[in-house]
Chain A
Amino acid sequence: MQEDSKDKIHVYYGEYYRSLFNYGIKLINNEDVVRDGIQDCFYNLWMNPEKLERIEKPRNYLIGTLRNLLLKQIASAKNSSGLDEIHAFEVSTQEAIIDSEIEAINSQKLQRAIDTLTPKQKEVLYLRFYEGLSYEEIEQITSTNYQSARNLLSKTIKNLRKAVLVFLMFF
């Protein structure tokens, strides 16, 4: 039984470690802290065999757990009481070339548009476009901390719309 759970966790490492690391490093730019955080996530899961048995979407569950862990750490380091405040979410845009004939997206300008978003909004964008999660899944991951995830999402979409408009000016 113990061996089975351990095997399962090994497989989850292979499947989700890249996602977890890349997500975590955007919350806090410190590789050691992120690595330890991921270890704690997996260890907690191992200590909770019932959860491990019934877990439906391991990726979402693990991202959510890592998020809580890291935010708690950041809060205690900052001595702040707002436990679940996201202070930063640092993303940089991919160099995207549309077509050799058409001009490439000016990624610097797109980056500037994205920098106008709040960290929470950037996080939503990241989970949506990089992890490919649905809005519902994003809500589940973040809802433990946000009173109204729905509001946040619609705000983000509004802001994305603004960012899109800014972006369009450069075409």
Chain B
Amino acid sequence: MESNKNILEELILDESFQNYVIHNQEEGKWQHWLEQHPQDQENFKKATAFVNALKFKNQEISQKQINDEIAKFDIRVQKEQGNPSGKVVSLWKRALQLAAIVALLLATTFVLYKFPLYQPEEVPVAQTEIIIKKTALGVKSQIRLPDGTLVKLNSGSEIRYPSRFDGKIRSVELLGEAYFQVVQNKSKPFVVSTSGMKTTVLGTSFVISSFNKGSAEVSLLEGSVLVTSDKEEKILKPGQKLSLNGNSIEISNYDYNEDFGWKEGILYFNDASAEVIFEKLKLWYGVEFSFESIDLPQLKYSGFYKNQDLETVLNGLGYSLKFDFEIKEKMIKIKFN
């Protein structure tokens, strides 16, 4: 018993162990330690819990509170510096200061919409053409941009980019959904324009999707990103999602599989309604559905399919949601029992 306590105490006071719990450092070393000391598994768990308890309770602070403080700061600077230009903040300059790795995602339904290139005065340089890449429904593709940035384009999406990034920024337009691994270039921010807003990043990887005019979503995986609409500017933190709907902007937390899963072939439903499910399948597999009755049943479904064909998915869904189906090429008949 006494030796048990010693091991527990030693673990708690060990700086490397603390770092393992606090920062997830040297995971391998501690996994190995556990394998070597199977009798101390209990102590290991207790020590982990102890260190976690010492992280202490802290107050939640919303992004809005922080934005309010930033606004107060700006006002104070303006007042005390007598700096009339204080309010005019150059977006791309601010973007320079944002952190490097970013992941985002935008939007929902399916109306194509065109918008002007960001800062068009930067664009017209001789021999720069605009390249358009499209994916059909049910097809995903991978593209390298002129700066080396990797883009994974989801089904039914379109991206436009210049054959050379000549201006002060790297500007692309997106209709639909895409994952970006941006090559870092601090002096040339990467800007994605989608319906109603622009997303500015410097970082290395993010996802965007925007299908619908006037509504869009950005989900941030890592780093930080600046989102600007006509009216507002927001800086997102990792784990946050920004939804733009008409004029209202909302920030919430996202579900990773729901927003990012598609790029790994994960079809994911989280408490989804029948409408949402069949809409997603349509996009994912490039098929059409017909239903025997006009009203779809009121139900909620959660499920997870990785790299599965349509028939497997429909079998799984049909079992839970109680429907039969008949596949005729691209047309699928659904009959609820």
A pairs with B: yes
**Residues of chain A at the chain B interface (Cβ within 8 Å):** 2-4, 6-11, 13-15, 17-18, 21-22, 25, 35, 38-39, 42-43, 46, 91-99, 102, 105, 107, 110, 125-126, 128-130, 132, 135, 157, 160-161, 164-165, 167-168, 171
**B66, A157: Cβ atoms closer than 8 Å:** no
The docked-state distance in angstroms from the alpha carbon of A22 to that of B61 is 9
Known: A14-B224, A99-B45. A94 touches B69 (CB 8 A): no
**A168, B5: Cβ atoms closer than 8 Å:** yes
The docked-state distance in angstroms from the alpha carbon of A99 to that of B13 is 21
Name the one of A39, A157, A160, A168 contacting B76, with C-beta atoms under 8 angstroms.
Answer: A39
Which residues of the other chain, B, contact A35 by a CB distance below 8 angstroms? 69
* CB of B12 within 8 Å of the partner chain: yes
**B45, A96: Cβ atoms closer than 8 Å:** no
The docked-state distance in angstroms from the alpha carbon of A160 to that of B83 is 51
Known: A3-B93, A43-B77. A110 touches B53 (CB 8 A): yes
Name the one of B5, B50, B73, B89 contacting A43, with C-beta atoms under 8 angstroms.
Answer: B73
Name the one of B8, B18, B70 contacting A10, with C-beta atoms under 8 angstroms.
Answer: B70
Q: Which residue of A lies closest to B70 (CB)?
A: A13
Q: Which of B12, B50, B57 has the most CB of A within 10 A?
A: B50
Which residues of the other chain, A, contact B72 by a CB distance below 8 angstroms? 39
* CB of B142 within 8 Å of the partner chain: no
Min C-beta distance of A37 to chain B, whole Å: 12
* CB of B51 within 8 Å of the partner chain: yes
The docked-state distance in angstroms from the alpha carbon of A14 to that of B70 is 9
Min C-beta distance of B51 to chain A, whole Å: 6
**B5, A3: Cβ atoms closer than 8 Å:** no
Min C-beta distance of B332 to chain A, whole Å: 43
Which residues of the other chain, B, contact A128 by a CB distance below 8 angstroms? 18, 54
Which residues of the other chain, B, contact A9 by a CB distance below 8 angstroms? 73
* CB of B52 within 8 Å of the partner chain: yes
Chain A interface mostly helix, strand, loop or mixed? helix
* CB of B59 within 8 Å of the partner chain: yes
Which residues of the other chain, A, contact B58 by a CB distance below 8 angstroms? 18, 22, 130
The docked-state distance in angstroms from the alpha carbon of A11 to that of B237 is 11
**A130, B46: Cβ atoms closer than 8 Å:** no
Number of A-B residue pairs, CB cutoff 8 Å, is 136
Known: A38-B69, A42-B73, A105-B50. A4 touches B8 (CB 8 A): no
Known: A6-B89, A94-B56. 5 other contacts (CB 8 A): A10-B73, A22-B61, A98-B46, A110-B53, A171-B46
**B235, A14: Cβ atoms closer than 8 Å:** yes
Name the one of B23, B56, B83, B96 contacting A2, with C-beta atoms under 8 angstroms.
Answer: B83
Question: Can you show 6 pairs from A to B with CB atoms below 8 A apart?
Answer: A7-B89, A7-B96, A9-B73, A13-B73, A46-B73, A91-B57
**B57, A129: Cβ atoms closer than 8 Å:** no
Min C-beta distance of B253 to chain A, whole Å: 15
Min C-beta distance of A49 to chain B, whole Å: 12
Which residues of the other chain, A, contact B66 by a CB distance below 8 angstroms? 13-14, 17-18
**A105, B97: Cβ atoms closer than 8 Å:** no
Which residues of the other chain, A, contact B55 by a CB distance below 8 angstroms? 94, 129-130
Which residues of the other chain, A, contact B237 by a CB distance below 8 angstroms? 14
Which residues of the other chain, A, contact B89 by a CB distance below 8 angstroms? 3, 6-7
**B83, A25: Cβ atoms closer than 8 Å:** no
The docked-state distance in angstroms from the alpha carbon of A10 to that of B58 is 23
The docked-state distance in angstroms from the alpha carbon of A94 to that of B53 is 5
The docked-state distance in angstroms from the alpha carbon of A7 to that of B52 is 35
Name the one of A39, A105, A110, A129 contacting B18, with C-beta atoms under 8 angstroms.
Answer: A129
**A168, B54: Cβ atoms closer than 8 Å:** no
Q: Which residue of B lies closest to A35 (CB)?
A: B69
**A21, B224: Cβ atoms closer than 8 Å:** no
**A105, B83: Cβ atoms closer than 8 Å:** no
Contact flags B1-36 to A (C-beta < 8 A → 1, else 0):
000010011001101001100110000000000000
Known: A94-B55, A96-B50. A11 touches B97 (CB 8 A): yes
Min C-beta distance of B76 to chain A, whole Å: 6
**A17, B61: Cβ atoms closer than 8 Å:** yes
* CB of B90 within 8 Å of the partner chain: yes
* CB of B94 within 8 Å of the partner chain: yes
Q: Which residue of A lies closest to B5 (CB)?
A: A168
* CB of B276 within 8 Å of the partner chain: no
Which residues of the other chain, B, contact A94 by a CB distance below 8 angstroms? 52-57
Min C-beta distance of B239 to chain A, whole Å: 13
Contact flags B232-243 to A (C-beta < 8 A → 1, else 0):
000101000000
